[in-house]
Structure 1
Amino acid sequence: MQFLISFTLNFLIFSSLLSSTYANFADEQRYNICTNAANYTNGSLYSRNINATLFSLTNASLTGFATTTIGLDPDTVFGLVQCRPDVAENDCRACINTASDEITQFCPNKKQAMIGYGNCSLRYSDFRFFSTATNDLIVYYRNTMNVNDSNLFDKQLVSLFQNLSVSAAANDTKFAVGAIGYSLFSDIYGMVQCSRDLPENGCLSCLQAIIGFIPQCCDKKQGARIFTMSCSLRFELYAFFQTSSPPISGMLSPPPPLPVSTDEPSSVPTSSSDGKFYYCILSS
């Protein structure tokens, strides 16, 4: 079977004996993961249960997180939707509505699918995935720009994500953001998030897996975003998260600026990470 990865101006095909999965990225604002493990036909009971699942998730009492179970076996659909806790309620609602409208467009006839954006993600499946970490499928987006002092950057990045992952896993929101000093000119900003249904150890193990993946995908890069179906992270040399209500959990106070390399850039990027989308399978 084949693993097809589609990203802006770039197409890669991976061959594997694992079940087929398709990941698509139109731009940095959206990604979707569609597995071909099982398909459904239009107009079937499963199809109608997906529609009911999406309706239930978009009309749930908005707390930034909701799950639902629709139908009876073998046509049961399990659904989950989640927003970033630092996103305003109206932005969360708009994102969920978009996700509900687009997931079946980008993953047509797939019994297992996920779609994500900057503010939210939505997932459904024909098996009960609640409270279970799924981190074998990884998609990532990285900046094309490299840092100048990679040794210092890596050291600070590890320290930042160690703190954020522990904080997020122990927090009910399963979310944490923070910053750590990197140079006289810039700090490193980081964010981690797990699906809120995960237990503490499940969240922590998922985050540790993708943190450990950074050297493989994004070594020396100024920024990157890494996603699985159960957790995600992001780091940049500029503040990309909200700092107003609701309160952000896990905020770290940046330490005093560290010594700067002589070739350190004198400005901080103000735009989103540019680069390419990639997709890989970590395990079966």
Structure 2
Amino acid sequence: MNMHVISRPISISSFRVLLVILLQLATTSDSSLDSFIYVGCSQISYAPGTAFESNVNSILSSILNSAAVSNYNNFKISNPGAGAGDTVYGLFQCRGDLSTSDCHDCVSNGVTRLGASCVGSTGGALQFDGCYLRYDNASFLGVEDKTVASDKCGPIGDESDLLTRRDSVLDFLKSGGQFFRVSGSGKIQGLAQCVQDLSVDECQDCLSEAIQRLRSECGSSAWGDMFLGKCYARYSERGYTSKHENGDDVEKTLAIFIGLVAAVAILIVFLSFFSKLFDSKGGK
């Protein structure tokens, strides 16, 4: 009895496309430098087509251009012919361990997001995982700001020594004298950073407030973020970037999905090969 396996063979190019798509999904599932943390916009609006709008656009352009060569800069822009109330102040800062290229990419996405979120607003601030941007019609440069902008705490940790390690990390972050600080103890890692328009003493005061709030509000949580107006402090079991508590479930589900699809694709290629082999031998 002759048996013919009838199937449509999958091409190698199609298989490669499938793998590329899956790899892209796997990559984008991880937290990236432009992971959104918060955005805030002034409730005061400006009229379109005014000198102030031109100055806002100039600030955002200056921020983007400067990020190509630096990880921090601040600006004061008042174009010729503009009134005293049309002056715009702005700054950007990237995380202290970023390369200039990564900084520019983060700021580029930040400028786009901030411009779209705060259309017509006289001020706006945006924090990504890797960079911070702000502009306003009132000068904020060199002014300490300990207002809570965003605070999040993860689930309670499983390990008995989590609190001890967390406190060790936060103590080191509090004692450092740099604008960007990192620390680690076992699985717990942390970082802290001030905006560089502050003085060293102002930075220390801001971080002391952020770290105190982390201790009191996040307790024995596995991770915690405390972002104030001009500084932040973070700790996590997963490194510098905190993830939502269901992040592991998402990654596991994606890994299983990729494995199943890859197995099916290999099976199709295997059956296609034997189909051609049977056909070439007359189905014997």
1:66-145 aligned within 5 A:
66-71=73-78, 73-143=84-154, 145=155
The count of aligned residue pairs is: 209
1:191-210 aligned within 5 A:
191-210=191-210
Aligned partner letter, 1:62: V
Task: Tell me if the contact between 2:170 and 2:190 (Cα under 8 Å) persists in the aligned partners.
Answer: yes
Q: Distance in 2 between matches of 1:31 and 1:77?
A: 24
> 1:161 aligns to what?
170
Q: Distance in 2 between matches of 1:273 and 1:106?
A: 23
> 1:228 aligns to what?
228
Task: Tell me if the contact between 1:142 and 1:274 (Cα under 8 Å) persists in the aligned partners.
Answer: no
Tell me whether 1:148 sits opposite 2:148 in the alignment: no
Tell me whether 1:176 sits opposite 2:181 in the alignment: yes
- Per-residue CA deviation, residues 59-81 of structure 1 (Å, 9 max, x unaligned), is 12622001111115211111000
- Greater shift, 120-129 or 105-114, is seen at 105-114
Greater fraction helix = 2
Gaps of 5+ in 1: 1-27, 182-186, 242-270, 276-284
- Greater shift, 49-58 or 68-77, is seen at 68-77
Task: Tell me if the contact between 2:174 and 2:211 (Cα under 8 Å) persists in the aligned partners.
Answer: no
Say if 1:77 and 1:99 are closer, same or farther in 2 by CA, change over 3 A.
same
Aligned partner letter, 2:58: A
Root mean square deviation, CA, Å: 2.3
Q: CA shift at 1:116, angstroms? A: 1.3
Structure whose CA Rg is larger: 2
Q: Distance in 2 between matches of 1:41 and 1:228?
A: 30
Q: CA shift at 1:149, angstroms? A: 5.0
1:8-19 aligned within 5 A:
none
**How many percent of aligned residue pairs carry the same amino acid?**
23
Q: Distance in 2 between matches of 1:32 and 1:102?
A: 11
TM-score with structure 1 length normalisation?
0.67
The equivalent position to 2:69 in structure 1, one of 62, 86, 101, is 62
